[in-house]
Structures are given as structure tokens and as C-alpha cells.
Structure 1
């Protein structure tokens, strides 16, 4: 079990960009409580704003396993190695557009290609449509000749949930498991029992329990019958023989406890699980890639971890 606690006395001024974006979203949603899902999706596509364009990365739209995707190809990358990126956004918003630049930074840092999934979103397509799409992409990559050990799953927030749960789905399907998993600020707990939902309520400028509950209602419905399903809530999963796992989170966010519990549960099952917490940072702070030193340093840590696997 390895935890990296990155204590900082002051955050960079560039780190404030993400906080200000989230605060603006919250104000706009409060002012318009009846936002349609289309309006919310337009809002969350602004998630790409904090991320600066990675240099020497090209992009290609494609369809893999029947799923619309966006590839990120850093110049000189090893295309025989692939990150499957599942974007965040409460399973209902976010897209390959909002996450394109972050995926590019990750691909470049690891020297591999990344495929960002435009998986089917809730509420039109509730659980488990997202996992079915991830499995279709994974199976298509395997069928193309890419080795399981050379594939990793990666995601942020709800997409971090999917990065973990998709591997559980692969195991359920009897597939060889990928080589590793990376989860940024994963939102895992559909029961909303994490202690930091309360203790970090004053420091997280955007995420809160009512917002999460609304996303849960769209994702798995309101009857509560699926809140403990391991494929929806991986905190109830059996992590035996799970691939090496890297988790990060911001010290200011309400979902910090989800990351801590994931590491603890995986470690108890014998998984090589690393948790990196950067003090004072907001939800999915790697979105500040190329802009803020805190994000760039975290991405370098992930690259070092990957190269040591």
C-alpha cells in the first residue's frame, strides 16, 4: 500500500483557474435550476478550458467496436499500447471533446496512444450501457492484435468509476485483464457514505451530495436496488487479481474518501495500489495539465509509476 501525500503551503495562481471554472458552473446552475440535459452537456464541455493544448499530439475520430471514439496520437508514440479513456461527467455529461486535451497529455507522458470513448450516456442510456461500450472497445482492441497487458483503463470522476468497473466487467466476461488502471478523483460510492462529503463540503467549490444524487437517479434509477452493485459501486467489488492501480485526488474535494477507500479495499485484496493526494486541489485537478505545476507534477508521477510497472 503506497500513499503519496503532497502537502503545499500555497497553491500556484494557475491552479485557481479550475476552482474559478467550477464556481462559475455552480453559480450558473443555481441561477437556472431547470437546466435541460442538453444545457448541462454544453456547460460541461467547457471542462477542456483549464487544459492547455499538448504539443505534438494529433487526433483522429473513429469507431471502435461500434462505439464512437477519439484517438490521441503523440508523435512517435507506441501505437501497440493503448489507454482506454472513459470521461467523467456523472455518466450523463462530458465527452471526448471536453477530455481531448487531457487525454493527449496522458498519452504523451506515457508514450502511448489513447482512445477516448463517447460511450452512451444517461439518462437516455442508464447503467450498464457505459460498461457495455467499454467492453466492446476492449474486445475490439484485443481482436486487432493489441495485447491485454499493453492496454490500460483510465478515467476521471464517474469515468474513474468506469475505468475500475470496466475491468470488473472484463473479468465477468472471462477476458484477459488489462495491464493497469488509472483513476482521477474517482466517484465510486452510489450510497454517498464518504466522510469527506461532509468534512470537505466547505473546500470543494462544486461537487456536493445533492448534485451527486441527481446523477445517481439518472444513472441507476431512484429505487436504490443497484447502489451496492459492484459494477455500479466498485467499493463493493472483489479486487482479487486486479491489475496495478494508480488513484489520485485533490485534498479539497468531497470525493476524497472514495479514493482512499478504493485504495484500502484494493490493497487488502493484494493489489498494487498507489494513492496520490495533492493538498488543496479541486476535483480532477489534472485538467490543469500544461497550465498549473501541480497537475504537470502529478502527470510526471503517473508516468514514472507506469514506466516502473
Structure 2
């Protein structure tokens, strides 16, 4: 390892040398105390050379949009309307690219948005179903956010996707959302074998996916055949990316870890050490997790949490499939036109097709 680091340092030094010309001295990070902290000098980081031109264009737009986000001074309704408008626009764009049939249902008393491919469910998927748990910080994302995450997967996978309208904060607190999803899941077990049901979600929906599996294990209910946790997962929201990614995405520098029980109203009164909140706290529970797909990007503040989740699941013997897109931000695949988004949809559809029972 030490030899590899010396080699890398040598290569980086060589890259800055023009033959016969002494390069200007570059500022170095200031080494912190024994905790390994570093104070970084000011320097420009170009957009990823591996990302698509389409994503660069969208990234510039996001930097502008982020400045328009309404504050909390007037309550939760203004942010909800703001994000619903963004998601509703995305859903309309998705429907043009991925034709689907939409309907609303009530399943065991819980509202749901049901998405099916316009040309019908594949014969191999008639006894399979996916549950989507939308993102939105456990505060927003109902309906329009669920459609954004369900439409492309339903169309490409030729499978029914059910978006659960679970209870959110600040009106409700943990474990209300878990209870809603478990209620829907148990209702679906009357029609589908557990091995034929998949659950996936992004951001808050990813965290909730892990919480639902943990609750099923605790209650002795068969777990789904496979799950997907995207831009979030079973581990705390911390690590290197919680500091670096915000700076690369135009957010406040040095934001650091996000203790969900302190920062998210939905988790008021919950204990972050509880494995029903963060399953990473129970290695024994992780051993009973189903095959898991994990997706993130290098500009996603949750990237380190996703990497740690993959590590823990792998150590527990779970089949864990990790995909990381360079230059991509939190929930990047919510924009359907990006080449990276299309790649992510294909990965999701292929993963569930491989792991769900027939």
C-alpha cells in the first residue's frame, strides 16, 4: 500500500512538470491533529471528464435551481409545492419517453400510485411486483416523486410498480412510514410470494427500504426477493462525501454528517442506534437481508453512506451490487434525459429481473 501511494505521488508530480520548466509551487493541505483532519487550500475542481455533456448542462441548471428553494419560515407547504412542481415536470417528461398506464389505489387502507407499462406486463412478470418508496427527506415527494422513480423502471422492466404514499413528517414520526409500507407488503403477500416482491427507493426512500426489511425480520415476516437502496441506504449519513460532495455541488462547505434523528423531523424522538432506524447497527440482522442493489454518484453527499452500506452487507454475506457514476449528484436519475439516468434505469430493471423469483 505504501509503495502504491509513493507511485501515485510520483505520477502526480510528473504530471505537473513541463520539461525544462519548473512548475509553480502548489499549495498543500494543512495536516490537522491526530484525528486526521485536513484543511484544504482553495482550488478549482472541473466537472468530471467521465460525465456526459448532457449532465454538465443539467448540473449548471441545478446550481441555479438550488438557490430558489423556499425556506421553512412559512411551514412545510411551500417546500412541498416547490418539489412537487419539479417532480410533476419530470414525470411528464418521463411519460413521453417511457409510456405507462397510471392509476391510484388504496391497499389495506394505504394510498398508492400504481404504474404499469403501456404495452402490458411481461408474461414472466405477472407474478412479480415492485414497491417504490419515494425520496424527499421524509417530508415531501408523495405522488409526483413516486411517479418519477416508478415510471422508467415499470416501462423498461415490463413490470408493475406500486408507489406507497407513506406517512411523513413533521405531521408523523417514526415508525409511521415503516408501518404503512409493511401493511402494503403484507397485503401483497396474499397475491405474490415474498421472493417475487422487490422494494426500492431513493434518498429517504432508500433509508426507509432498509428500515422496512429490518422490521420484517424483527416481526418474522418473509423478506422480499431483492431490494434497491439508491443515494442512501442502511448506514449513517456521514464519511468523506458528507464534507466533500456538498462543496462539489454548490452547497455550504464543510456540512459534514447528517444525524437523521436530529435533522429530520420524522425521526423526532427516535434513536439512531436502533437497528430499526439504521440496520447497520445490527450485523446479525444484516445477514438476513436479501440481495441489494446500491446506486450513488461521486457528487452525492450520501455516497460514503452507500459505500459503507455495501461494505457491511458484503461482510454479512449478502449479495450486494454497487454502481457509482462519476460526477453525478444526489438522485441524479430523476432527470430522464441524461445518459447516466438511462444507464441507471437499465441496471435497476436488470437487477430485479435477475433476483426476483418467477
Report the TM-score range of the alignment, normalised by the length of the smaller protein. 0.7 to 0.9
Matched-pair contact (CA < 8 Å) for 2:238–2:258: no
2:321 maps to 1:278: no
Aligned-residue offset at 1:228 = 1.6
Partner of 2:89: 49
Cα-Cα RMSD = 2.5
Matched-pair contact (CA < 8 Å) for 2:114–2:163: yes
Q: TM-score, normalised by structure 2?
A: 0.76
Partner of 1:111: 158
Matched-pair contact (CA < 8 Å) for 1:18–1:282: no
Cα 1:48–1:16, aligned 2, differ >3 Å: closer, same or farther?
Answer: farther
Aligned-residue offset at 1:244 = 0.4
Aligned-residue offset at 1:240 = 1.0
Partner of 1:227: 272
Q: TM-score, normalised by structure 1?
A: 0.87
Please give the secondary structure, in 2, of the residue aligned with 1:154: strand
Aligned-residue offset at 1:213 = 5.8
For residues 180-233 of structure 1, the C-alpha deviation after alignment (integer angstroms, 9 at most, x for no partner) is 00111115555x432211122211345955987697340212x6x511212222
Alignment partner of 1:91 out of 123, 138, 143 = 138
Cα 1:36–1:18, aligned 2, differ >3 Å: closer, same or farther?
Answer: farther
2:169 maps to 1:130: no
Counterpart-to-counterpart distance in 2, 1:94 and 1:206: 21
Partner of 1:4: none
Counterpart-to-counterpart distance in 1, 2:49 and 2:310: 26
Q: Which runs of 5+ in 1 are unaligned?
A: 1-7
Matched-pair contact (CA < 8 Å) for 1:180–1:243: yes
Cα 1:126–1:142, aligned 2, differ >3 Å: closer, same or farther?
Answer: same
Greater RCO (CA < 8 Å, at least 6 residues apart): 1
Aligned-residue offset at 1:284 = 1.1
Cα 1:49–1:94, aligned 2, differ >3 Å: closer, same or farther?
Answer: same
Matched-pair contact (CA < 8 Å) for 1:61–1:69: yes
Cα 1:278–1:101, aligned 2, differ >3 Å: closer, same or farther?
Answer: same
Counterpart-to-counterpart distance in 2, 1:212 and 1:42: 26
Partner of 1:160: 206
Matched-pair contact (CA < 8 Å) for 2:116–2:158: no
